[in-house]
Amino acid sequence: MLDIKFIRENPDVVKENIKKKFQEQKLPLVDEVIALDAENRAAISEASDLRAQRNALSKQIGMLMGQAKKDPAKLQEAEAVKAQVKAQADRLAELEEKETELAAKIHHIMLQIPNIIDPSVPIGPDDSCNVEVQRFGEPAVPDFEIPYHTEIMERFDGIDMDAAGRVSGNGFYYLLGDIARLHEGVLAYARDFMIGKGFTFCIPPFMIHGNVVEGVMSQTEMDAMMYKIEGEDLYLIGTSEHSMIGRFLDQIIPEEKLPQTLTSYSPCFRKEKGAHGIEERGVYRIHQFEKQEMIVICKPEDSMKWYEQMWQYSVELFRSMDIPVRQLECCSGDLADLKVKSCDIEAWSPRQQKYFEVCSCSNLGDAQARRLKMRVKGADGKMYLPHTLNNTVVAPPRMLIALLENNLQADGSVKIPAPLRPYMGGREILVPKH
């Protein structure tokens, strides 16, 4: 969310940014919110003047009442002043009600106006315009056929989607045996990897209040992702970033406590609305999965440095397991409204002979901090808004696809990358049962 003062002083910049995000339908919101803001500031100014007058008149009434003991005429004068105070009180009540109404309208519009994107973001209407920046590792295609990932898992008796469908419906799964252990091994390795980078491990709440949801994501994202608990002001988190950033709701962070570098584990729950292609069946796009996340809260001047560092951690993690990846810069139309800059890390799929998304790194500037009223107290005593960033460390369902495909052997066995072996009882290879 932008600062209303910034919109007021830079309407053309805000409108141009909306055009760059291909959201022309939002252009009228800029003039509308500026007009509402002017009306609101006028109401606030008039109310402030009335309060000052009321204080002065109240003192005058007290003085006249004191004089009325000697001069009865002063009593009548005091009553006239009281009537004036009463009229002003009625007007003040009207203005306060108007302020509340206008503030709500302004807030509603402000939530819809997208954040100002970084100048380095490529311009394009959708993800087809995302730009490959660089590759890490050589993508290879073996000389044997690679089955679909669920077929690989089934050879190890490692997945049961039929039973999950009967129990929970489409978009759920049971992981079993070695595949389940590999899933947990990936999470444990990712956790320890980030702890080794100096991040503090955290397990957050898996449900959050509506005001936190509003603080951390756009309305469009919320509608497409979040599951609400019926009859309660609680939502299941779609990623641990939601509750991790929400932890600082309405808090003042001492500057010496920055940066906050946190890595969190959580289950994630997502509606995943819309039709999906044949390559997105199996465990690629599901309603429930687990994830290790990284979150940074820092000084504004440090956020781009952290952005570069965070996506590089993802590359390092995947390359440590011999999985080729590439960095893909997200274009303006593919950025969620709160994001300043974002990139995806995509892993190589030997079966599809193309890359697919496994991590997403985002710099949200001060948007989440402003929405959540999160502030930093500087050494000079002044308050400012920090910047927030997040990035996927690993989400095992998709990581498993990349790991299984890139480590599958011609005989159907799966090589276990060296960093995962301590979490798999020292085993170097998984042998299929079928």
Chain segment 6-60, per-residue pLDDT in tens? 999 999 999 999 999 999 999 999 999 999 999 999 999 988 887 777 666 666 6
Question: What residues form DSSP beta bridges with 201?
Answer: 263
- Residue 399: how many other CB atoms lie within 10 Å: 26
For every residue of the chain, which 3-state class applies, written as one string? CCCHHHHHHCHHHHHHHHHHCCCHHHHHHHHHHHHHHHHHHHHHHHHHHHHHHHHHHHHHHHHHHHHCCCCCHHHHHHHHHHHHHHHHHHHHHHHHHHHHHHHHHHHHHHCCCCCCCCCCCCCCCCHHHCEEEEEECCCCCCCCCCCCHHHHHHHCCCEEHHHHHHHCCCCCCEECHHHHHHHHHHHHHHHHHHHHCCCEEECCCCEECHHHHHHHCCHHHHHHHCEECCCCCCEECCCHHHHHHHCCCCCEEEHHHCCEEEEEEEEEECCCCCCCCHHHCCCCCCCEEEEEEEEEEECHHHHHHHHHHHHHHHHHHHHCCCCCEEEEECCHHHCCCCCCEEEEEEEEECCCCEEEEEEEEEECCCHHHHHHCCEEECCCCCEECCEEEEEEEECHHHHHHHHHHHHECCCCCEECCHHHHHHHCCCCEECCCC
Q: What pTM, to 2 d.p., does this model score?
A: 0.89
Residue 275, pLDDT score: 46
Q: How far apart are CA 414 and CA 430, in angstroms?
A: 5
What does the block give as tokens for 272? 């995943």
Q: How far apart are CA 130 and CA 328, in angstroms?
A: 6
Q: How far apart are CA 266 and CA 390, in angstroms?
A: 14
- In angstroms, how far is CA 45 from the centroid of its own chain? 36
Q: Is-contact 319 110, C-beta < 8 A? A: no
How do strand 288-298 and strand 387-394 relate by DSSP bridges?
Answer: antiparallel
Q: How far apart are CA 104 and CA 337, in angstroms?
A: 20
What does the block give as tokens for 201? 């491990």
Delimit the CATH 1.10.287.40 region(s) of the chain. 4-110
Please calculate the CA angle 369-375-383 and round it to the nearest 5 degrees.
135
What is 127-430's CATH topology? BirA Bifunctional Protein; domain 2 (3.30.930)
What does the block give as tokens for 152? 């690989």
Characterize 362-397 residue by residue with b for buried, 16 or more Cβ atoms within 10 angstroms of its Cβ, and e for exposed: bbbbbbbbbbbebbbeeeeeeeebbbbbbbbbbbbb
Q: How far apart are CA 261 and CA 194, in angstroms?
A: 10
Q: How far is CA 323 from CA 13, 272, 351, 407, 410, in A?
A: 42, 26, 13, 8, 17
Residue 259, pLDDT score: 97
Delimit the CATH 3.30.930.10 region(s) of the chain. 127-430
Query: pLDDT tens string for the chain (434 positions)?
Result: 899 999 999 999 999 999 999 999 999 999 999 999 999 999 999 888 877 776 666 666 566 565 655 566 666 565 666 666 666 778 888 888 999 999 999 999 999 999 999 999 999 999 999 999 999 999 999 999 999 999 999 999 999 999 999 999 988 999 999 999 999 999 999 999 999 999 999 999 999 999 999 999 987 778 788 999 999 999 999 999 999 999 999 999 999 999 999 999 999 999 976 545 545 578 888 899 999 999 999 999 999 999 999 999 999 999 999 999 999 999 999 999 999 999 999 999 999 999 999 999 999 999 999 999 999 999 999 999 999 999 999 998 899 999 999 999 999 999 999 999 999 999 999 999 98
- Residue 421: how many other CB atoms lie within 10 Å: 15
What does the block give as tokens for 363? 């710099």
Q: How far is CA 306 from CA 127, 261, 363, 391, in A?
A: 24, 10, 9, 11
Q: How far is CA 355 from CA 17, 324, 344, 347, 417, in A?
A: 30, 9, 11, 5, 20
Q: Which CATH number fits domain 4-110: 1.10.287.40, 3.40.50.920, 3.40.50.300, 3.40.30.10?
A: 1.10.287.40
Q: How far apart are CA 209 and CA 144, in angstroms?
A: 50
Residues 6+ apart with CB under 8 A from 180: 158
What does the block give as tokens for 50? 């009335």
Q: How far apart are CA 151 and CA 146, in angstroms?
A: 9
